[in-house]
Amino acid sequence: KELGIQQGKELGIQQGKELGIQQGKELGLQEGKELGLQEGENKAKREMAKSLKDNGIPIEVITKTSGLTIEEIQEL
């Protein structure tokens, strides 16, 4: 009887570990996707702002259209 209980505990622990690992992977992938999308959006904003700046558009207009700060635009 004790052997069966011990085997049941070990099986439960193993299943719990596997479920935890799977959930961790899924959460990590989701966070990675969100971070990647955010970085891509930020890069696109900066590229657009640089292009506008290079074409002589006033920084005040660029801040309104890009959402970047004056300092961020000046650094481009």
Task: Tell me the per-residue pLDDT of 48-70, one tens digit each, with 9 for 90 and over.
Answer: 999 999 999 999 999 999 999 99
Residue 6 has pLDDT above 90, yes or no: no
**Host H or E run for residue 29:** helix 2-54
**What is residue 7's predicted lDDT score, i.e. its pLDDT?**
84
**What is residue 52's predicted lDDT score, i.e. its pLDDT?**
95
**Host H or E run for residue 73:** helix 70-74
Those residues whose C-beta lies under 8 Å from the C-beta of residue 53, and which sit 6 or more positions away, are 59, 62, 73, 76
Average pLDDT over residues 7-16: 88
**What is residue 25's predicted lDDT score, i.e. its pLDDT?**
92
Torsion, Cα 64 70 38 49, to 10 degrees, reads 70
AA letter at 63 = T
